A and B are shown apart, each in its own frame.
Chain A
Amino acid sequence: MTSLKVFVIARLLLVIPTILLLVSLVFFIMRVMPGDPVIAIVGMKAPPERVLELRKALGLVDESGNPIPLPIQYLNYLANLFRGDFGRSLIWGKRPVLVEIMEHLPATIELAIAGFLVSIILGVALGTLGGWKGGKTNSAVKIYSAITYALFIPWIGMMFQLLFAVWLKVLPVGGRIDPGLEPPMITGLYLLDSILTGRWDSFVSALRHIILPSLTLGLVISGIFSRVARTSVEEVMRQDFVIAARARGIPEHRLVIHVLRNAFIPIMTMMGLQLALLMTGAILTETTFSWPGMGTFLFERIEYRDYTTVQGTVVFFAIIISLINLVVDILYAYIDPRIRY
């Protein structure tokens, strides 16, 4: 077997204990809570039938009301997850958590892609500029990276809202699209769906709504890209071929392409690593702009103490992140043969 195949198999096997650990972590976190979760949800004065019903829904007692021991609860929980059952909501008609997640996921994916694009364009452009010019420009880009990294997303979002939506009145303050303009569901991504179905009014509306959230998310993550782009362009600029190319009189705008191509691998590595940050950032961005995605959903359900939904959503995030990390790792091993465990 080639070493790449060995690596891929080993990495695939590693994902099983990782996911198992993460879902167990979530289970035990939700159980260490001081006090009675059921009382916390329904309050002290709830009728006993309601309390019993909730205990059943949470998997704390069996059908006849006898308490289930913790190890058995844990095994039941794992077995349910294995069947793709993330539990049912405690409110609003007890809908399956997975169904609700799937309804909110496309909005988050759309925002994440848009934010990612903004951050790459901003970050790589500024980073390349800094690494290329050196001196004062470089220091300025360095400070930019440090500041954007430490920005608090909700605050930046609100400042944008205040400036562009309240004072200048050029963009909507929040939401995903004007009501009634939702395009027919194909992928769930409004921008893509409205192009596919040729609904331009929907497209314009969706685009106007996504500008501020994606700018907010993109700005905050761009700092990391500008930092990586800056250092790796700096490094490439010191190599002999750049000096040789300059000596031969190759114009700077053509040299940029060669430098960027060489500086690209570290930048791409960073892109993969930032997906988790992108998720976290999306949650905060969504709650600021009332963007109807996973973040707003999670936030809303925390407020309603919809325990099973919160647990299911967190588990879902854990699994998604493990899988993304898996794909990213294998891709790198494929691109760069030096990466092996």
Chain B
Amino acid sequence: MYTFRPILMKLVPKVKLSTLGWVGVGMVTFVVFLAIFAPLLTPYDPTRTVGPGFQPPCWEHPLGTNKIGQDMWSRIVYGARTIIIVVLLSTAISMLIGVPLGLISGYVGGLLDRILSMIMDAIYAFPSLILAIAMAAALGPGIINTAIAIAIVYVPTYFRMVRGQTLSIKEQLYVEAARAIGANHMTILVRYIFPNVISIITVVFTLSVADVVLTEAALSFFGLSVPAPTPDWGFDLKAGHPYLLSGYWWLITFPGLMIMILAVGFTFIGESVAEYFQAMEVRT
């Protein structure tokens, strides 16, 4: 069945989520809420010394303070901004490179397809974290650079799925019909093939975004993400690690917990979306 819904409506495919999926939506929404309303939720500047160092959780500092007396709650809330921005930015870059290349590679075929596929397979075979570390170390710290380093790792994921889908779609009758009535290649790619790869992009996105979160956390844990005073969960986790032996548990517990809430939330959504599309495939 093929109906002519406007393309914009198709950008958001209709998906029914399971209970687990909704739990995931709740967890992610919580983090996004913190990120958006950060200034309203925090009484302190996350980059300033606002109290004594190593203060355990108390009334003024609900999650305690770190070595130089920064308020952990403020850092956690603003840290949500950092990770959400990096994740969105890097995903957008991955899509912007991976999706068009996948479309063209699958549609044109031949030598171009061979070469592109080979490069993408090589990147794909690389252990993702090591590639991201190498990229981030080479590019230097900063939000944009971190996003680029992570994005490169996930380009092949989008490329492979979109290319595969394009290969099967271009054999469809309606594509042949479009060609018969004189549509040029650009029109066929944009109007006929692209709308039909959107659902696969959604699945790839929901399945890989948890990985992106963990990669960002790992890079900032290695000190390769945003520079020092910026609140960042992975960085705070690393910064609190040396004081573990002193029993300052609040320095490591909360940043890590936040990373987990975001990653597990996205995983739940991804599982649920993938399950839905699998069920759809079985039905048709």
Residue ranges of A at the interface with B (Cβ–Cβ < 8 Å): 17-18, 21-22, 25-26, 29-30, 32-35, 40, 142-143, 146-147, 149-152, 154-156, 158-159, 161-162, 166-167, 173, 276-277, 279-280, 283-284, 287-288, 298-299, 302-303, 310-311, 314, 317-318, 321-322, 325
Contact = CB atoms under 8 A, between A and B. Distances in A.
B48 to A, nearest CB: 26
A166 B253 CA distance: 14
B130 A155 contact: no
A310 B1 CA distance: 54
A280 B128 contact: yes
Interface in B170-219: 210, 214, 217-218
B259 interface: yes
Interface residues of B, number: 48
B256 A317 contact: no
Contacts of B20: 143, 146
B252 A158 contact: yes
A22 B125 contact: yes
Main secondary structure of the interface of A (DSSP, over half): helix
Contacts of A35: 140
Interface stretch (B52-60, B65-73, B95-103, B241-249): B241-249
B37 interface: no
Contact of B129 (A26, A284, A288, A322): A284
Interface stretch (B9-17, B159-167, B221-229): B221-229
B118 interface: yes
B154 interface: no
Given A146-B267, A155-B237, A166-B245, 5 more contacts: A22-B126, A33-B139, A166-B247, A314-B133, A314-B134
Nearest to A320: B127
A171 B271 CA distance: 36
Contact of B118 (A21, A143, A152, A287): A21
Interface of B: 20, 118-119, 121-123, 125-130, 133-135, 137-140, 210, 214, 217-218, 221-224, 234, 237-238, 241, 244-245, 247, 249, 252-253, 255-257, 259-260, 263-264, 266-268, 271
A90 to B, nearest CB: 14
Contact of B134 (A279, A299, A310): A310
B127 A299 contact: no
A325 B266 CA distance: 29
